Amino acid sequence: MAKQAGGWNEREASARLQAIFKRAKAAAQGQTVDPRYAFRTETILEWLDITEDEQREMRTLIGPDEKRRRHRDAERERRRVTG
């Protein structure tokens, strides 16, 4: 099926699907399997087409530019408060 759908040979299919096989085997053995995937923040921002303006209103899901801006602002405020 992997060859037909993705054009992969057996070795490539095994490498790409290893995590899926591991989770399926654990589930078959009755183990609790965490179905969530760990996506990079930048991937989520791209997929959801979240703009920089929208990120300014968010607390957790922010890109590296917004993170640097917030850090810069916080450092500026810290220096202002301490004199």
pLDDT (tens digit, 9 = 90+) per residue, 6-58?
788 888 888 878 877 887 888 788 877 666 667 788 988 998 999 999 999 99
Single-letter residue type at 82: T
Kindly state the tokens that stand for 65.
């530019």
Q: Tell me the CA distances in angstroms from 30 to 19, 25, 27, one per residue in order.
A: 17, 9, 5
* Residue 72, pLDDT score: 97
Q: Is 50 exposed, middle or buried (0-12, 13-18, 19+ CB in 10 A)?
A: middle
Where along the chain do its domains lie?
1-36, 39-83
What is this structure's pTM? Answer: 0.51
